[in-house]
Amino acid sequence: MDEVSPEETPSRKVPPWLFRAILTGAAALGGLYVLGWLIAELKTLIVILLVSFFLSFALEPAVNRMERTGIRRGVGTGIMFLALLAAVGLFLWAIGTVLADQIGEFADDAPGYINDIEDWLEDTFDIEVDAQGLLDEFQEGGAVANLATRLADNLINLGATVLQVLFQILTIALFTFYLVAEGPKLRRNICSLLSPEHQRQVLSIWNLAIDKTGGYIYSRLILAVISFLVHWLVFWLVGAPFPMPMAMWVGLISQFVPVIGTYIAGALPVIIGLLDQPSTGLAILVAIVVYQQVENYLLQPKVTAHTMEIHVTVAFGSVIVGGLLLGAVGAVLALPAAATIQAFLASYLERHEVVQELEDAEAAQHPDREPLGDRIRHLMDRVFTPK
């Protein structure tokens, strides 16, 4: 058998591109790791910037209108900040008054509740309960005093948390003021670093974000005011406790807390009404449910038709994604962000006419039936559209 000379042995050298591929992959993995570490470490700053941009997008349309009337941009921004601060302060004062009164009444009535429970257990189940130990929880020297003593030991940690929250709020206010007052200059500085084509894209996205966020806030405010006035009247008529603060709570929370806001908004006045009188709580529950149907089918389509058009499925999914990524802040920011992305994509996607076969098939399935929501909206169009 002939031996193969070294010169004739096939070459088994590693291809040079393999080393480059391995190095590139390792560098990419390292970069992703560093990026993830940076995002985790700077998450608080990222959330602050996102909230600041959202607030600036919401305030800028009003500031732009004031600037067109001759008001300096910085002054207009200050006016909007003062209005926002006054609204938040009024809301917190109203809700704080309600909670303080309810907690005080509950603490005063707690011994009576405990005695009633003791009598009911003895009469119903023949169980003897010594309520004195429970009463001590609400008297001087009892467990409540001990709990207050333990809480006093944590005042330093509580104070540090409060200072941190205040610092974050002030940081958001500072960023927001700069983004609104210096908005046009900021956009010019950013666009000066880009080519003309990319400048148009950046300005298009920025203006879309302002329009959609401003439209979102505008539509929510209109619905919140209508909800506040209607619930205030209803709560006053049924004799509910604290009708104005409770109506304010329902109006704001139901409109500005996504998905679960309606349930949170309705729970508090219903519970307070039930504690006052069961019939009052039931009347409040019926009023909230009825108004919610009227808002969903009559008011909301009319108000949001020209402000923030977004499909309910997209809205629900965006809220879930935003909540998973950034918690409660992400859930609130999800709707205007989804509306902006949807509008931006719609401007680049080409739409075509639906083929006649699809329209005929849909008409054959429902020959003489129109959805209830469409019938109501068409009726409202005929009522409110001037002839």
Q: Which residues contact 110 (CB under 8 A, 6 or more apart)?
A: 137, 138
Q: What is the pLDDT of residue 18?
A: 75
* Structure-token pair, residue 181: 């007052």
Cα four-point dihedral sign 247, 251, 254, 258: negative
Integer Cα distance of 232 and 236 in angstroms: 6
Q: Kindly give the parts of the chain with pLDDT less than 50.
A: 1, 372-373, 380, 382-387
pLDDT at 144: 54
Residue-level pLDDT at 8: 52
Burial of 79 (0-12, 13-18, 19+ CB in 10 A): middle
pLDDT of 107 reads: 65
Q: How far apart are CA 336 and CA 330, in angstroms?
A: 11
Question: What is the pLDDT, as a whole number, of residue 387?
Answer: 41
Q: Residue 366 carries which DSSP code? A: S
Side-chain-side CA neighbours of 64 within 13 Å: the count stands at: 13
Give me the pLDDT at residue 385, please.
Answer: 46
Instruction: Say whether pTM exceeds 0.85.
Output: no
Half-sphere exposure for 157 (CA within 13 Å, toward CB): 5
Q: What is the rounded (10 degree) CA torsion for 130, 132, 138, 144?
A: -90
